[in-house]
Structure 1
Amino acid sequence: MRLKRAPAMVWQLVGLFALSGVLSLYSIMLARYTHTPACLWLTNGAMIGVLIQRPLRETWPLLIAGFLGYFAAREFVGDLPFMPSLALALCNLLETLMVTLAIRRHFPVITQETRFTDLARVALISAAGACLLSAFTVAAITHVWPNLAFWISFNTIFRAHLLGMIIAATTSIVVVTRGRRLVNSSSTPLSLVLHLLLLTAISVVAFAVSRYPLLFMIYPPLLLLIFRHRFAGLVIGIAIVALITSTVTALDIGPFNLVHDATPALKVVMAQVFIGVTCLIALPVSLALVEQDRLQLRVRDSEIRYRMLADNSGDLVMRIRPNGDRRYVSPSVKELLGWDVEEFMAPRPDLIHPDDRQRIADVVATLRRLGGATTATYRLQHRAGHYLWIEAFARLVESPEGDGSTEIIYTGRDVTQRVQIQQALTESQAQLRTITDNVPAVIARIDMSERYTYINRFVEQVSGEAPTEMIGKTVKEIRGAVLYDQLKEYLDRAYAGESVWFEYEATYRNRLLHFQTHYVPDKDSKGHVRGVYALTTEITHIKNVERELLRLAHQDALTGLANRRYFNEQSASLLRQTCQRRAPTLLAVLDVDNFKAINDTYGHAAGDLVLAEVGRCLQGFMHEGAVVARIGGDEFVVLCDHVGTEVAAETFVRTLWEKLHVAVRTGGHCIDVHISMGAVFFKGSATQDALMKLADEALYLAKEAGRNTYRFVTGGLFMGEKNGNM
């Protein structure tokens, strides 16, 4: 790759060497021939245009080539010794490098879009600084400090270098950056040549006439050249004026001789002032024109891009005047609404759906009154007759016509499908809300901060609170601290991703209610929990039914006492407890004497009354913790553990037996109820079957003794008998 690029680089080095040498030789020889200071030093400025467009690694060879070109020219003239000549070459190199680096720092790449006003400002400031430093160094080299000649030399060198930098650098930068675009698109090379010849001729005439100051005649053709050819006219015109001025001044001819007793140095100063004023007049005008061209080009490009986008956009784009006339309608109106552009240019409010016309008219009126931008969705009629939903964005802007009026920039797109989806979604949400509001359960959603974000209307029937009053509040605020403590555990489990079922009780409207709740985690598409759905059902009636069923399963319907099943369940538990406590147990079994005869004589209704009365007596006599049950027919059983001694147990049995002697009236008859009872008092471990067997044996003994009595045994031994008449 480097071998392929080497020839091009070699030619660039040779070209820069020749350019630097020729320009340096011209300035040195002209000053030497006329015995005057150099009016313009063009070498350093000419090199800058070449250097700023090269990568930094390629800059150093070019700088060395320019340095060698100047040094060769100085050595060819031979007016200075070797070391001063070398030092002056280094000063020129430093001056060129400083301006180049300053420009590249602010403008790494110079393109057609670069603001040349900013570029000129940076270049002028850096050139002034570089020329100051260079002139100071050169004057110090060629004169002894602080001799007066030093300041004269400094002044002369500075002016020559600064003017040369401005003219040559501007010319080289423009030529290098614009290249073939140097000639303005509105002009031709032939017109450029003719205008240059006109400027040259007038300049020659103005300087050739020594009797009259006609230098002002140069400005009209120069400005004409700039207006018609922009940068090309500037750089070539200034160069022509500068060369003619410096040449005739060096040759001691021209209108500068009108100044009385003018020295050659003064004439050089006047020439430099004239060139500087010419630059000050021409350069700002040229920069302004170029900036104007650049902005116009950007506006034109912007308009082209905008029209291209508008013409090819699927959206409808319009420019609407205050009276409603449309200045522009994009071709998409054909595809969107079926209308041709010409048909849609006139105002067509009749195409707006009748239900939307007044609303849209109000929106437009507000936009024209307040300005800014607005968005509206409405229906617009297709040429085929059906309506489309259009989402329109409109902004009020100043008219580009520059007449102080305003226009509406309108952009509309077909959102029919989206509106239909939204309507379907709204309808679906309404149906879902109707369903949830009428489901006999409280349905709610709780976010991660434990706040309600949704709750259906059924909650009013349960708690009396309106859903709108609950939205945004926390579970603790709605349910209270006590109930919240019960629910917190289940909430945390649901937030952890677990589906939770549980039951709890709560009081609402002075009623204790039972609830069953299901917490379901609400997860996003990635499986992250973002809330909890709560489905709460009141199950109070179910609990009441369960209790009733439990009661019926464990209670004798006639007497209200426990039945055999409940007795078996409770007796097993009580016997385990007494065994653990090493407490004695009393079991008594009793039945109604001659119960069959009562049924046969007085009827079953009378028998039921007798059984109910016996049950009532047993209920009123029992202590807490005792189990009293009807285990079948007229047979009852009593199991308790509150008697601690045999004496107390026997006293309890006797008292119970006596209390059960009641009289039952039915149908005008009085039935005297007699009871036979067998009781066992047992210490230690015993099963229910063992105790029942002992109690049944004691009951059998009471019946053998003639009924209407009781028998009391302990440890399976007969202790004595008691007659009901005692």
Structure 2
Amino acid sequence: MFFRHYPERVWQCIALFALTGGLALYSIMLARATHSPTSLWLVNGAMVGPLVRKPLSQARPLLISGFLGFLAAKQLLGDPFVASVLLGLCNMLEALLVSVAIRSRFPKINSHTRFMNVARVGLISALVACGACTFGVASAQHFWPTLAFWETFNSLFRSHFLGMVIAGSTSLIVVTKGWQLSEPFGRPWRLMRDLSLLALTTAAVFCMSRFPLLFMVYPPLLLLVFRHRFAGLVIGMAIVALITTAATMLDIGPFNLVHDATPQLRIVMAQVFIGVSCLVALPVALALAEHERLQARVRESELRYRMLADNSGDLVMRIRPNGDRQYVSPSIRELLGWEVSEFTKPRQDLIHPDDRERIADVVATLRAEGGTVTATYRLQHKEGHYVWIEAFARLVASPDNDGTTEIIYTGRDVTQRVLVEQALQESQAQLRTIADNVPAVIARVDMSERYTYVNRFVEQVSGETPAQMIGKTMREVRGELLYERLKTYLKRAYAGESVMFEYEATYRGRLLQFQAHYVPDRDAEGRMRGLYALTTEITHIKNVERELLRLAHQDSLTGLSNRRYFNERISSVLRQCVQFGKPVLLALVDIDNFKSINDSHGHATGDMVLSQVGQSLQRLVREGEVVARIGGDEFVVLSDNLANEGSADAFVHSLWERLHVAVAVGTGNVDVCMSIGAVWCKGAVSDDVLMKLADEALYVAKAAGRDTYRLLIRSLQDSESGAQAASRPGHLQI
């Protein structure tokens, strides 16, 4: 029952049982065969990685599996049962202490985690845990503080701590980073070549007993780490450790050059060499990983900045000391009508003649004193008229690190606001003449929140006349519910802030959307006496935005989602499936002989076929499933609601069976058949690999004569490149 509900946990426990048992057998049998103490105890470190991934409440099965693996190894070697149990408990306690220390400091380790910090916590906790547990084991074997006690403690502590450093870091890196992230070049044959070079070099060093050539191990080890990152570190240190311990305990190698060296001294020297090798290689791998992480974050920051700047309605520029524009955002076309290439050189002639001297002084002051500055001036549009620009500029050090400074410039069109501000300075008569012809509601509200002026455009929006509103409070006119939403912005405007925001309200039975701009009204002495409210209906703009968004994600012929929407959805679906441990199914649907249908019956018939297939797919899929047209006659179905292989096979079979459609053409019908390639995957997989597997299944289906389907089943342990598939009708297992 437990295996049926939690198959992943069961396999983890079995694997950990085999791993701890095998490592214990190797270490103990090698030590007994050479009549020397154990030089490298790897059992406890191997358990750290799996334990770190689980909270303490779920780690009990793993601890029991590791304990049973060690106990089984001891019993196979004929050791006393009670002593083996006590030693096994100490081993499990040591691994548990290290994993709890790491997990308490880093609850979730991902690509953004600094592994240098993880290594620091792991090293300190390993010192404490190994010291405490080996002290307990030595106390159980000898009376304290005899010489035999300290000899046992010294031997156990060195082998446990060294094994914890090597096996612990190896298991932690394997379970947290994964092999695909460890090897950046993705070429296994290169890894095998470099591993072979390290193995041959290490073996040659220990075969040359007459010369101390241990330093020859470091070049191929560091080369392996540099080329293959954590994969090279993990496997390389394992090779060095195994060859070193085996050769030393078999009385082979350069450690025999030490005069009168005892087996215990040779083991100590081997442990020191392994530890130093690990301390040399591990910081290099961590530093490379940190460098790549920082580079990725810099690239991500640059991409986000560029995306924001390119899609912002404001004009964004980087201006060099000579006036050249290092960067000009594409919004220049919408704002001033100029192309980016036409605006990369200084264009003082575009500044209004009345503003040139003032802006030149502002720029000179900014370059001389630094800081930030805000200026409002006029720029000439390509069509000849002038646009009021509110510019915010900051002097910063050049990101090119050449010792120069640049001006980061952000400008926005404030022509409407400037015109309103100028109009407010004119007489009341002029204000009414202008305001009553502006397609927006303009109002003045005094300090008691009563309307003192409203232009006539309000009649077109709410149906109320200005006379009905003047003298009433905003709460009375707008209603209690809408007033509560506007009250916060009113307070900010009364505090002297110019506020622009959007809201929605219902007038004449229609839900309308507005953009409002509250401008403080001050007297000649700067005291607040009310505010001006400029309200524009933007319902049609919002509707157009929503329609554009819909069109950007919908295929116009079939009404299904398009490739862009599918590419956006598949990544989020795969992340959720990994997070919640759910399988995912991807099916590629291809119309058989669609080109012959177009050639024989015309493109109009082909469009009818595509439309009917799209409608059929839309009816067949369930809520939460994604169906899209991603090519000419190619459709895709993405589902995360199929819990097992049987339901996946039934779903694909039903999809294929019910997609046979007949399209009426003249007096006859065109029978449409489908080929489907699907993959059902459980575990982490990228969208590219998932599409590749589904495409391979589709190829198999077409090779089988079309009008059929093939389903690939991919388990958690499969590599992303796929494996040799075993075929049966309608179903492939990989």
Q: Which TM-score band (shorter chain)? A: 0.5 to 0.7
Q: Is 1:295 matched with 2:294?
A: yes
Alignment partners' CA distance in 1, 2:282 and 2:17: 28
The change in CA–CA distance for 1:72 and 1:291 in structure 2 (over 3 A counts) is same
**CA drift at 1:22:** 0.5
Q: Is the 8 A contact 1:183 1:189 kept in 2?
A: no
- Work out whether residues 175 and 182 of structure 1, in 8 Å CA contact, stay in contact via their aligned partners in 2: no
The alpha-carbon distance between structure 1 residues 219 and 377, as it changes in their structure 2 partners (threshold 3 A), is: same
Q: Quick check: 2:56–2:100 contact (8 Å CA) kept in 1?
A: no
- Name 1:10's counterpart in structure 2: 10
Work out the CA distance in 1 between the residues paired with 2:106 and 2:446. 60
Kindly indicate whether residue 50 of structure 2 is the aligned counterpart of residue 50 of structure 1: yes
Task: After superposition, give the CA deviation of every residue in 1:258-292 in whole Å (9 maximum; x if it has no partner).
Answer: 00110000000000111111112111122111111
8 A contact 1:320–1:407 mirrored in 2: yes
- Alpha-carbon deviation of 1:186? 3.9
CA displacement 1:683-710 (0-9 Å, x = unmatched): xxxxxxxxxxxxxxxxxxxxxxxxxxxx
Secondary structure of 2:383 counterpart: coil
Give the structure 2 partner of residue 500 of structure 1. Answer: none
1:611-630 to 2 correspondences below 5 Å: none
State the match for 2:138 in structure 1: 139
Q: In structure 2, what is the equivalent of residue 162 of structure 1?
A: 161
AA partner of residue 369 (structure 1): A
Q: What's the CA shift string for 1:618-656, capped at 9, x where partnerless?
A: xxxxxxxxxxxxxxxxxxxxxxxxxxxxxxxxxxxxxxx
Partners of 1:232 and 1:180 lie apart in 2 by 6
- Report the equivalent of 2:311: 312
1:58, distance to aligned residue in structure 2 (A) = 2.1
User: One-letter code of the match for 1:271?
Assistant: A
Q: Which residue of 2 aligns with 1:637?
A: none
Deviations 1:524-582 (A, max 9, x none): 77799999xxxxxxxxxxxxxxxxxxxxxxxxxxxxxxxxxxxxxxxxxxxxxxxxxxx
Q: Helix, strand or coil for the counterpart of 2:391?
A: strand
Q: 1:394–1:409: 8 Å Cα contact kept in structure 2?
A: yes
Which residue type is aligned with residue 65 of structure 2? A
Alignment correspondent of 1:73:
73
Q: Are residues 428 and 111 of structure 1, via their aligned partners in 2, closer, same or farther at CA, if it must alter by over 3 Å?
A: farther
Any unmatched runs of 5+ in structure 1? 433-444, 449-519, 532-726
SS of the residue aligned with 2:111? coil
- Pair 1:265 & 2:283 matched: no
5 Å-filtered alignment, 1:609-648, equals: none
1:549-564 equivalent positions in 2, closer than 5 A: none
Equivalent pairs counted in the alignment come to 449
Counterpart in the other structure of 2:193: 194
Q: Does residue 1:113 correspond to 2:112, yes or no?
A: yes
Going from structure 1 to structure 2, the CA distance change for 1:350 and 1:259 (only over 3 Å counts) comes to same
CA distance in 1, matches of 2:12, 2:308: 45
Whole-Å separation in 2 of the counterparts to 1:430 and 1:376: 30
Tell me, yes or no, if structure 1 residue 239 matches structure 2 residue 226.
Answer: no
User: What does residue 420 of structure 2 align with?
Assistant: 421
Other-structure match for 2:372? 373
Which residue in 1 is equivalent to 2:348? 349
CA distance in 2, matches of 1:179, 1:236: 13
Q: Secondary structure of 2:316's partner? A: strand
Q: Which amino acid aligns with 1:254?
A: G
- CA-based RMSD of the aligned residues comes to 2.6
Deviation of 1:187 (Å): 5.5
d(CA) in 1 for partners of 2:305 and 2:446? 50
Name the residue aligned to 1:286: 285
The SS at the match of 2:399 is coil
Query: What's the offset of the Cα at 1:190?
Result: 2.0
> Which residue of 2 is the match for residue 204 of structure 1?
203
Find the aligned partners of 2:339 and 2:2 in 1 and give their Cα distance: 61
Q: Secondary structure at the match of 1:400?
A: coil
Residues 469-508 of structure 1: CA deviation (Å, up to 9, x unaligned): xxxxxxxxxxxxxxxxxxxxxxxxxxxxxxxxxxxxxxxx
Instruction: Report the CA distance shift for 1:251/1:290 in structure 2 as closer, same or farther (over 3 A).
Output: same
**CA displacement at 1:409 relative to structure 2:** 1.4
Amino acid paired to 2:214: L
1:176-234: CA deviation from partner (whole Å, max 9, x where unpaired): 11114243324622222211111111111111100000000111111111111221121
Name the residue aligned to 2:578: none
Q: Deviations over 1:237-273 (max 9, x none)?
A: 1111111111111111000000011000000000011
For 1:93-112, list aligned pairs within 5 A: 93-112=92-111
The code of the aligned residue for 1:58 comes to Q
Deviations 1:416-465 (A, max 9, x none): 12222222233357989xxxxxxxxxxxx9989xxxxxxxxxxxxxxxxx
Q: Distance in 1 between matches of 2:250 and 2:242?
A: 12
| Alpha-carbon distance in 2 for matches of 1:426, 1:142 | 96
The 3 A distance-change label for structure 1 pair 2 and 398 is farther
Contact 1:84 1:141 in 2 (8 A): no
Q: 2-side partners of 1:297 and 1:199: how far apart?
A: 30
Q: How much does 1:74 deviate?
A: 1.2
Cα contact 2:184–2:229 (8 A) shared by 1: no
Q: CA deviation at 1:309?
A: 1.6
| Deviation at residue 146 of structure 1 after TM alignment | 2.2
Larger radius of gyration: 1
Q: Which stretches in structure 2 are left out of the alignment for 5+ residues?
A: 432-444, 449-470, 495-734
Alpha-carbon offset, residue 57 of structure 1: 2.9
Pair 46,426 (structure 1): closer, same or farther in 2 beyond 3 Å: farther
Question: In the TM superposition, what is the alpha-carbon distance from 1:134 to its structure 2 partner?
Answer: 0.9
- TM-score w.r.t. length of structure 2: 0.58
Cα separation, 2, equivalents of 1:182 and 1:160: 30
